[in-house]
């Protein structure tokens, strides 16, 4: 069926601050899902929404239409609660890779429909596809089989689950229309409702590496997600977490898989482990498996100590076609770029700031993310941090290592990486990892 919707008048109306009718919104989303509306018209409409926003009515209708553009999974037959987590995106944010199997080991079912690199932040699907053979495109039947057996699934939007969001997500990345609270909220919640999550924990990033760097913006997004979830029957709890410097020490696809494995083995960077435990505790409380956050944290820590989380990851990777040996021997089975360059400190002192946004943009230039939606990811490209805020360094000490295959890309990325590190004479004030909890 071909859409007969006249787009230019609707684009003009939204551009000028008007509202779209429910039927118009449903026809727009249907046309996006079916591919009957040209990308250039959708991009123009998205930009108008960035400027003018959506009313509460428009946003609810828009999100419902995104869900209705495909199938909606139901999990009433599962013997445990379904709870998901989603991050608004950050630099070095590999939390989902260790969090989902840990929560599954603790008794939750985690039907996680994840995304790809968006802007300067990495994508969970791109990280997972660094594992040889790993399949992120699953049919609803495959999605169900993996979730039932492993207790979690990490997959992308298929042609049958929230297909309209799949189209709009890629366009937003390529048209500078990412930073819109209603578009972010509808994208996230349409996927979560379509996948059948019973509740959602949101990790809303704040700082230089976040899409919404100001705390006030992040709080507004968290409030919009909680309110929209309530209107759509989905309980949402949000935490605001720090993204003023990268999370962990690895920025890249294969290297972030490795760092997540380190956490599941009982190691890994302290901030990655701490945020994993905190989010897992919130999920267990929301799912009704523990009475409070402290009990939830203990349960997640037990799943790390026993190796149950690592076992779940191995199982899930195998069920999605991935090379299980990559979990046990990542150095041998995960890709790695051929060349390296080291960025050195130009003076002695204390690292006062590590700009997550600058490093995210540098990583994108290396091929960790995409400048255009058709760009190919370089799974072995990476930036590895040797110093973070508060670290004392001497002149000539290594600040980070750049891994790359394409010399031209490395030359473009290096100035951004160099400028990301600020060195002063006094240690900066410590910034808490979790800034606020809402919902």
The catalytically annotated residue of 69, 158, 186, 187 is 187
14 vs 48: CA distance, rounded Å? 6
> Cα 414 vs. chain centroid, distance in angstroms?
25
Question: Would residue 405 show up in a list of annotated catalytic residues for this protein?
Answer: no
Q: CB-based burial of residue 70 (10 Å sphere; 0-12 exposed, 13-18 middle, 19+ buried)?
A: buried
317 vs 131: CA distance, rounded Å? 8
Question: Would residue 386 show up in a list of annotated catalytic residues for this protein?
Answer: no
Question: Would residue 39 show up in a list of annotated catalytic residues for this protein?
Answer: no
Q: Are 31 and 37 in contact (CB under 8 A)?
A: yes
Residues forming a β-bridge with 340: 403
Length of the chain: 439
Question: Would residue 86 show up in a list of annotated catalytic residues for this protein?
Answer: yes
Dmax over CA atoms of the chain, in Å, equals 66
> Cα 354 vs. chain centroid, distance in angstroms?
20
Residue 382, token pair as written in the block? 């990476």
Question: Would residue 172 show up in a list of annotated catalytic residues for this protein?
Answer: yes
The catalytically annotated residue of 64, 166, 191, 388 is 191
111 vs 114: CA distance, rounded Å? 9
95 vs 92: CA distance, rounded Å? 9
The catalytically annotated residue of 64, 85, 86, 219 is 86
165 vs 66: CA distance, rounded Å? 6
Q: Are 334 and 164 in contact (CB under 8 A)?
A: no
Half-sphere exposure of 250 (CA within 13 A, CB side): 23
The catalytically annotated residue of 14, 127, 172, 258 is 172
- Active-site residue set: 86, 165, 172, 187, 191
């Amino acid at each position: 069926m071909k859409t007969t919707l006249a787009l230019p008048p609707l684009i003009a109306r939204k551009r000028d601050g008007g509202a779209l009718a429910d039927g118009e919104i449903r026809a727009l989303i249907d046309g996006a899902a079916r591919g009957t509306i040209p990308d250039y018209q959708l991009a123009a409409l998205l930009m108008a929404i960035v400027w003018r926003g959506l009313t509460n009515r428009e946003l609810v209708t828009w999100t419902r239409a995104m869900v209705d553009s495909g199938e909606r999974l139901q999990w009433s037959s599962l013997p445990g609660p379904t709870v998901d987590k989603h991050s608004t995106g950050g630099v070095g944010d590999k939390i989902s890779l260790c969090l989902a199997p840990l929560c599954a080991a603790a008794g939750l079912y985690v039907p996680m429909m994840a995304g790809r690199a968006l802007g300067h932040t990495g994508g969970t699907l791109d990280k997972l596809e660094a594992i040889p053979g790993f399949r992120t495109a699953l049919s609803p039947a495959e999605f169900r089989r993996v979730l039932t057996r492993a207790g979690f699934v990490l997959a992308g939007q298929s042609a049958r689950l929230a297909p309209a969001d799949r189209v709009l997500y890629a366009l937003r990345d390529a048209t500078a229309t990412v930073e819109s609270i209603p578009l972010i909220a509808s994208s996230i919640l349409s996927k979560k409702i379509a996948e059948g999550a019973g509740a959602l924990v949101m990790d809303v990033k704040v700082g230089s590496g976040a899409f919404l760097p100001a705390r006030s913006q992040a709080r507004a997004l968290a409030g919009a997600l909680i309110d929209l979830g309530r209107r759509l029957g989905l309980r949402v709890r949000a935490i605001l977490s720090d993204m003023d410097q990268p999370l962990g020490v690895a920025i890249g696809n294969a290297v972030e898989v490795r760092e997540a494995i380190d956490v599941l083995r009982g190691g890994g960077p302290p901030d990655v482990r701490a945020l994993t435990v905190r989010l897992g505790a919130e999920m267990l409380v929301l799912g009704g498996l523990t009475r409070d956050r402290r009990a939830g944290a203990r349960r997640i820590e037990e799943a790390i100590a026993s190796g149950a989380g690592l076992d779940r990851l191995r199982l899930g990777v195998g069920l999605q076609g991935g090379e299980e040996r990559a979990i046990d021997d990542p150095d041998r089975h995960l890709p790695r770029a051929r060349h390296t360059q080291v960025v050195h400190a130009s003076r002695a002192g204390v690292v006062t700031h590590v700009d997550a946004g600058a490093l995210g943009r540098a990583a994108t230039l290396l091929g960790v993310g995409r400048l255009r939606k058709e760009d190919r990811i370089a799974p072995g490209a990476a930036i590895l941090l040797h110093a973070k805020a508060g670290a004392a360094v001497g002149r000539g000490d290594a600040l980070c290592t750049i891994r790359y295959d394409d010399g031209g890309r490395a030359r473009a990325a290096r100035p951004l990486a160099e400028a990301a590190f600020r060195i002063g004479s006094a240690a900066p004030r410590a910034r808490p990892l979790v800034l606020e909890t809402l919902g």
